Amino acid sequence: ILNVEQSPQSLHVQEGDSTNFTCSFPSSNFYALHWYRWETAKSPEALFVMTLNGDEKKKGRISATLNTKEGYSYLYIKGSQPEDSATYLCALNRGNTPLVFGKGTRLSVIA
Amino acid sequence: DTGVSQDPRHKITKRGQNVTFRCDPISEHNRLYWYRQTLGQGPEFLTYFQNEAQLEKSRLLSDRFSAERPKGSFSTLEIQRTEQGDSAMYLCASSSWVGQGRNQPQHFGDGTRLSIL
């Protein structure tokens, strides 16, 4: 069974705080790591697709890093805003196989 | 880009009934995926299509579940003889798969929430 682990399960931060969460995955046969943001009552939205060890990607105040050798990725949010409140999902792709999702990190940003 | 659309948004039905959901992917996407998500879990893969061909089904998918993508465009997911354990959010996603070595994000619909009474 392929396990993709995310931590923490949930997180409450004050507006303006920076935060980060972790996605851990088996490092063998790595192909790509996806990050999605899923706001309540909306569809999951793709943030990043990361493929290379050492990759660092940025989208506004959100950035992500990737370490394929040790099997983890970090997602960072700088200066959290209430609109960042969502569940953040990571998903592992091992080539021509379906994505395997973690359970997500639920972020609540308190104004 | 009209995005991925799913219909219906909500479905409430009695145990034992059959239900069918529809997904319209982004028109130029050749891959279409179905997932199921329950409370506290991430989306769980059910099946996917490349054009009209169903390439993989999850081993967790019982024979009460069937999916089609008859012309390589929209897809339907049918659940026969529904059980209470089928209550979940059913998500559809599409992506563009272009040969080896390309990895595109999946674009999701809003999902169909199924409640079995």
The 10s digit of each residue's pLDDT in B52-102 is 999 999 987 889 999 999 988 999 999 999 999 999 999 999 998 776 555
User: Chain B contacts of A49, Cβ < 8 Å?
Assistant: 103-105
Q: Shortest Cα distance from A55 to chain B (angstroms)?
A: 15
- Average per-residue pLDDT for chain A: 95
Strand boundaries in B1-117, DSSP class E? 5-7, 10-13, 19-24, 31-37, 44-50, 53-57, 65-68, 75-79, 88-95, 107-108, 112-116
- What is the residue whose two structure tokens read 């953040």? A88
Pairing of strands A10-14, A105-110: parallel
What number of H helices and E strands is found in chain B? Answer: 0, 11
Give A7-61 pLDDT, tens digit per residue.
999 999 999 999 999 999 999 889 999 999 999 999 999 999 999 999 999 999 9
